[in-house]
A = this chain, B = another copy of it.
């Protein structure tokens, strides 16, 4: 299975999807790929506009995207895809539309069979067993919390160390500790902005200059770098993080 799971689309002050484009180019290769793009996480702007924004960046790296919403049969579009790309936005709407369109299993099967998958933010969340480590506001009932289970751990994208000064709400770490209380067998990767996870079959590593924070119930959180091997996170015979 080949996955590029990116924390966030854009660093402050940079153009949309700019920082990860070189890694996306390496991941997709030299031969031009026409990727199927799933824009369902867009809530306050149109799917067409979303495809346009992503296409602009893909054109720079010699590839292209086509929006799944332009196909009459989205499942057939998945079956024929050369690569699958899922963009960020609101995870809840993304999951609801993926369920409504019966896409979870077809995408999973296609990717298990070798089709490369790129996701960022919500698109990385749905590669996990469930959406239960999203940061997004639950604006709509997703009709099931299960997602694609293409990695057996949870990602928390946009992982953030501190609250703004003077704010008393839970920190991200406290929220993840709550998740671990309910889901004690599951690993959570706090994936900071500007970083991504690359899965190539049974190998998993971090790309980016910031560390990732690994959480497991009963253990102190660990900071791992792009020099470390993350593959232990894939080595569960069955998912420890029940979908």
Which A residues contact B (CB, under 8 angstroms)?
A: 8-12, 43-44, 89-90, 93, 131-141, 145, 158, 160, 162-164, 166-170, 174-179, 181-183, 193
- A175 contacts B8, CB within 8 Å? no
Which B residue's beta carbon lies closest to that of A163? B164
Task: Indicate the member of A10, A136, A167 with the most B CB atoms within 10 Å.
Answer: A167
Given the complex of chains A and B, what is the CA–CA distance between A136 and B170 in angstroms? 8
A99 to chain B, nearest CB (A): 14
Is A43 in contact with B145, judged by CB distance below 8 angstroms? no
Q: Are B133 and A137 in contact (CB under 8 A)?
A: yes
Given contacts A44-B181, A132-B137, A140-B132, contact A193 B167 (CB under 8 A): yes
Pair B135/A137 contact, Cβ less than 8 Å: yes
Q: Quick check: B178 and A139 within 8 Å, CB to CB? A: yes
Rounded to whole angstroms, the CA-CA distance of A138 and B144 in the bound complex is: 12
